[in-house]
Amino acid sequence: MSLLGLANTFRDRLPGFSMRVPNLIGLTRIKGRLTLSLEAIAEFDHLKECLRSPAVLRCFQPGRKTFVYTDASVGHHDTAGGLGAVITQVIDGYKYVCAYASATLSPATTIDPGRNSTPENAKTFNRPTKFRDR
């Protein structure tokens, strides 16, 4: 659902946003295990395309005001955690994405408070080799 949240940030540049993702929005209200329908998968793929469109994604321009947003999730039981980052710049009064990056954490790279997990013992994650751009 992180992708849905990210897309929501740019909904002013994605015409008919809420009408194009009703199945994904419905999934945010479900507690417990989720099952993706073919319609939800199609909406997910459409969102990915929208986030790569010129309405949202632009080339990085040195000298412009730049923002870096990061997010992390901790894995629970049988799910992996993850890291994400988005670099944006202000162009003509609007924030545009210049790059996306993400990494999935395996159980070996997460910190378990129940074990001997101190910052010195924590393993580093494999960082993305590069930010994804157009």
pTM for the full predicted model: 0.59
Per-residue pLDDT reduced to its tens digit, 110-126: 555 555 444 443 444 44
Tell whether 62 and 39 lie within a shared domain: no
Domain that holds residue 40: 1-56
User: Of all residues in the chain, what percent carry a pLDDT higher than 90?
Assistant: 14
Tell whether 22 and 41 lie within a shared domain: yes
Location of structure tokens 């793929």: 45
Between residues 111 and 47, the one the model is more confident about: 47
Amino acid at 91: I
Give me the number of domains the chain comprises.
2
pLDDT computed for residue 82 by the predictor: 80
The counts of H helices and E strands in the chain are: 4, 3
Tell whether 49 and 90 lie within a shared domain: no
Last residue of a domain, one of 10, 37, 56: 56
Tell whether 103 and 134 lie within a shared domain: yes
Between residues 63 and 10, the one the model is more confident about: 63
pLDDT computed for residue 72 by the predictor: 82
